[in-house]
Structure 1
Amino acid sequence: MKILFKFCAAALMLSACGMVGAADARGDFVSAKKTHFSRKGQACYIVGANFWYGGYLGAASGVGERARLLKELDNMRALGINNLRVLAVSEKTDIKSAVSPASTAAPGQYDEELLVGLDFLMAEVAKRDMTVVLYLNNFWQWSGGMTQYLNWFEGTPALDPNVTKDFDGFLTSTAAFYRSAASQAEYRNVIARIVKRVNTVTGKPYSEDASIMAWQLANEPRPGTSQVTPKERALYVKWIDETAGYIHSLDKNHMVSSGSEGVVGSAQDAQLYLDAHRTSNIDYLTYHLWPKNWGWFDSKNPTGSWDGAIAKSRDYLNTHIELAKKLNKPIVLEEFGLDRDGPSFSIKATTKIRDRYYREVFDVIYQRASKGDPIAGFNFWAWGGAGRAANAEYWWKPGNDFVGDPPQEEQGLYSVFDSDVGSLLLIKEYADRLHSICRIPTTSAQAFCKVM
């Protein structure tokens, strides 16, 4: 494995999104130029990993593992990864399938040690010419999130669908967050706390840090179930517009995105997805792809379910690129994954089916990008790196390693570990392909590469 990373580091080709000089000029920030990202006047692509626990590893003590963090960053950079999607804040909850400790113990009570961990992460990311998307809330319970806000301010139970087994009930209840005035007021306090923060390691305000690519409203915000009312739809659209606008009022340098899953996360309605992202306060689009979670793929019957799952996945990928064309904005596939062969959570299990799936996804992204279409890159879910599951049942407990799978899921479900050679080589292969588009542009890509 060390040989692989040394080889990758020697072969690494930097993209415009990852080339950082003195971060003083406005051009050092990644920005959306029509349907593509630009930096220093050049089109660039995101080759990213979800690394939600990066700030946790950066803490000086407690859950922090700074030596591991540096190793993880070096290994990802050696693969050509230039962007990380990271959880910025978490809320303390009694829910068992949630991470602990949390950066917010109660409204207005912040764990400065964890926030310094985020500072440390950002300082190290800058040294490696990488950028970060920081998401500021979570629709799901694994970091406290919206259900915990409702517990604090509305007195409703903080729900765990892993326990209740009532998924639609969780969606409906959690969507009440958008109409809770007290929750929204505190949410904005938290946004201001992070966006206006001064990094204790570098002394640089977050709002002036070009290593931040974008702020994100939340991880996978949904309007509720597929049966949302017109009033609920309108409230959701308004929430995205006004919250993104609030972030822009605090920070003129960085982009803002929603964190949406796409049509599946928009009550299965493409029009709602378009309406929610039409606002000028949203700079680029996001979408996620989960064929197993959405019932398209059966990992216990991979042969029988493969063709249908891949056909639906390709359609989902391409449909969203066309939606991005309609809004004239870039789009990033910022989550996708598949489990290990077996299916198994064990790191000893092979990843042949997942690697086959990754290649299908990567190929669609690369082919559409090489034609100049508005796909701006990807973040796979998720980087497990040197982390390892500690328990026979594969569920996380406080004190265990952090891996790519959050505590609401079995550890090893979707993580890419540093021993998954096949997956790592695929990521490296397509990182090089995507980064090379504007260095040796095809005829169809040449036009937009020149006008950035």
Structure 2
Amino acid sequence: MDENRIKVSSLQSDNSSWNVFGVENEQFESMVEGAENDLSCGSTSSRIYGLQVKDDDDWPMVEKKGNQFLVNGQPFYVNGFNTYWLMVFAADQSTRGKVSEVFQQASSVGLTVCRTWAFNDGQWRALQKSPSVYDEEVFQALDFVVSEAKKYKIRLILTLTNNWEAYGGKSQYVKWGKAAGLNLTSDDEFFSHPTLRSYYKAHVKAVLNRVNTFTNITYKNDPTIFAWELMNEPRCTTDASGNTLQSWIQEMAVYVKSLDAKHLVEIGLEGFYGPSTPDRAQFNPNSYATQVGTDFIRNHQVLGVDFASVHIYADSWISPTISDAHIQFTKSWMEAHIEDAEKYLGMPVVFAEFGVSTKDPGYNSSYRDTLINTVYKTLLNSTKNGGSGAGSLLWQLFPDGTDYMDDGYAIVLSKSPSTSNIISLHSTRVAIFNHLCSWKCRWGCKKRNSLEAFLYHDDL
């Protein structure tokens, strides 16, 4: 996300009554259990309890086959969230408990992947105090985040630096370079100057080779980590041709793979179409998006990149005032990228940030629910056809008592029951895809219609 821009009880606990889009709890449980009994066309050790998936002790690495993610040879569709500040909170004993809280709450509504920062460059509570100089206490905080994620069966996308100034990012690397006597005139020289590239690569090496002090597992061998993200929202506005950023992606993706061939790698792009595909520029939210040095299709054709990332912020890209046009844009933006991931890239695409700010003119919770439902429905339309729409990550999930960190996009589940229900329902649908049918089946079994009655029930 651009820097400018509770414990949640199970919905089946205490015999309380709840309702998800007109489906009462008893009916919902029956639908899920019926689907489970009727459609167990592949062997599985999992049991879906409404909103929960209880896995066995096996914790394999996520892999990629064509345009799908796999775990143990079965589909792995993602329903996840962002909470970027976990490492910094874990570095302070007074706030460390919030890390466990957010994982517990996310798990309670079936979320399975969290994207968070594995960097804090040269700032308050910095992980990297100067090039290749680390604060061991903060590194142990990141160790704690990884170990807690595993405890709650949540996988992590770990981002390695930032395009924006928050938490240091490329501007901090440039400051370090200037302090070392380099003649640098733009923050974008982060992408091109060989010394700054070497600083970044040294950080990548330090993180990937880190041995977790809680689990004794090296990060590059830990299946808790879903993927490495090269950078949060990279842009290189000083080279609109995209060549500078393309060169950086090519070098860094291969470098990460040279250190860690087991984990998946993604770039962290927002998804803007660039000069190599002028016919796709019509899908960009505005004309400026074509000039920021990124190029969705070209960037993702790089060796070493395993899946595509896209962000969705109609309110900051088009207009801060809420309107139906935002929903229309969200749907067309997603469908274009899913199509491109299938047709040109042959890889999964994850919508790694999406949300709407409570500070926007015209905002209400009903609109947020509509936006989230639009994202989820668009993904399900891809999923049922075996398409490239591999999942999404809400921006962003917060536990109670962290309001002072809220940028307007925070979702606190205990304060948002309708949103929590939408997330839970989608998690259950994703869990069914992930656990009730083997990869080879591909939904060709005779029970498919029975399953679809639940998976594609009209929610709105």
Name the TM-score, length of structure 2 as normaliser: 0.77
Q: Are residue 42 (structure 1) and residue 52 (structure 2) matched?
A: no
- How far 1:332 moved relative to its partner? 0.3
Distance of 1:123 and 1:342 partners within structure 2: 36
1:78-227 counterparts in 2 under 5 A? 78-93=108-123, 100-154=124-178, 173-224=186-237
Per the TM alignment, residue 287 of structure 1 is displaced from its structure 2 partner at its CA by 0.4
Distance change in 2, residues 1:153/1:441 (3 Å): same
Length, aligned pairs only: 385
Tell me: CA distance 1:364–1:147, structure 2 relative to 1, closer, same or farther (3 Å). Answer: same
Q: Would you say the 8 A contact 1:150–1:180 is kept in 2?
A: no
2:243 aligned with 1:243, yes or no? no
> Any conservation in 1 of the 2:314–2:326 contact (CA below 8 Å)?
yes
Q: Which residue in the other structure is 1:415 paired with?
A: 410
Residue 35 of structure 2 aligns with which residue? none
Q: Deviations over 1:178-214 (max 9, x none)?
A: 1121111111111100000000011111111010011
Look up the match of 2:16.
Answer: none
Distance in 2 (CA, whole Å) between partners of 1:107 and 1:372 is 44
- Deviation of 1:412 after TM superposition, in Å, equals 4.5
Q: Aligned partner of 2:99: which letter?
A: L
1:379 is matched with which residue?
393
- Ranges in structure 1 where 5+ consecutive residues have no aligned partner: 94-99, 157-171, 391-402, 404-410
Alpha carbons of structure 1 residues 239 and 114: separation in structure 2 relative to 1, 3 Å: same
Q: Which residue of 1 aligns with 2:44?
A: none
Shift of 1:69: 1.8
The 5 Å alignment of 1:188-337 reads 188-224=201-237, 228-230=239-241, 233-263=242-272, 267-268=289-290, 272-295=295-318, 297-299=319-321, 302=322, 306-325=323-342, 326-337=344-355
AA at the equivalent of 2:349? I
The answer on whether the counterparts of 1:196 and 1:206 sit within 8 Å (CA) in structure 2 is yes
Tell me by how many angstroms 1:79 deviates: 0.6
Inter-partner Cα distance in structure 1 for 2:340 and 2:315: 23
Query: How many angstroms does 1:10 deviate by?
Result: 5.8
Alpha-carbon shift at residue 294 of structure 1 (Å):
0.2
1:262 is paired with a residue whose SS is: coil
Report the alpha carbon displacement of residue 341 of structure 1 after superposing the two structures with TM: 7.0
What residue is the counterpart of 2:451 in the other structure? Answer: none
Residues 420 and 343 (structure 1), Cα distance of their counterparts in 2 relative to 1, 3 Å cut: farther
> Are the aligned partners of 1:438 and 1:445 in contact in 2 as well (CA < 8 Å)?
no
Aligned 8 A contact 2:204 2:256 in 1: yes
Q: Secondary structure at the match of 1:385?
A: coil
The residue identity in structure 1 corresponding to 2:299 is: A
- Tell me, what secondary structure is at the counterpart of 1:253? coil
Q: State whether residues 341 and 353 of structure 1, in contact with CA within 8 Å, keep that contact through their aligned partners in structure 2.
A: no
Counterpart position of 2:86: 54
SS at match of 1:280: coil
Q: CA deviation at 1:3?
A: 6.4
Distance 1:376 1:39 in 2: 13
Cα distance, 1:239 vs structure 2: 1.1
Q: Which moved more, 1:349-358 or 1:233-242?
A: 349-358
Q: Is the 8 A contact 1:288 1:335 kept in 2?
A: yes
Larger radius of gyration: 2
1:74 corresponds, among 104, 119, 127, to 104
Structure 1 CA distance, aligned partners of 2:254 and 2:229?
A: 12
Q: What is aligned with 2:64?
A: 32
2:17 maps to none
CA distance 1:189–1:444, change in 2 (3 Å): same
- 1:175: Cα distance to partner? 2.3
Structure 1 residues 35 and 193 mapped into 2: Cα distance closer, same or farther (>3 Å)?
Answer: same
1:439/1:388 CA distance change after superposition, 3 Å: closer
Distance 1:124 1:40 in 2: 22
SS of the residue aligned with 1:383? coil
CA distance in structure 2 between the aligned counterparts of 1:265 and 1:291, rounded to whole angstroms: 18
Matches within 5 A, 1:365-376: 365-376=379-390
CA distance in 2, matches of 1:140, 1:3: 33
| Structure 1 residues 447 and 212, CA gap change in structure 2 (3 angstroms) | farther
Highest RCO, 1 vs 2 (Cα 8 Å, sep ≥ 6): 2
Taking structure 1 as the reference length, what is the TM-score of the superposition? Answer: 0.78
Check 1:11–1:188 CA distance in 2 against 1; reply closer, same or farther (3 A cut). Answer: same
Closer/same/farther in 2, CA of residues 229 and 337 from structure 1, 3 Å limit? closer
Amino acid of the structure 2 residue aligned with 1:324: A
- 1:407 — aligned with what? none
* Aligned mates of 1:359, 1:317 — CA distance in 2: 13
How far does the alpha carbon of each residue in 1:194-240 deviate from its partner, in whole angstroms, 9 at most, with x for none? Answer: 00000001111111101001111010111326xx354xx22211211
Contact 1:437 1:445 in 2 (8 A): no
* Deviations 1:368-389, CA, capped at 9 Å, x for gaps: 1122111111101011222333
**Whole-Å separation in 2 of the counterparts to 1:336 and 1:141:** 20
Query: Deviation at 1:73?
Result: 1.0
Secondary structure at the counterpart of residue 384 of structure 1: coil
Q: Give the Å deviation of 1:362.
A: 1.3
- RMSD of aligned alpha carbons: 2.9
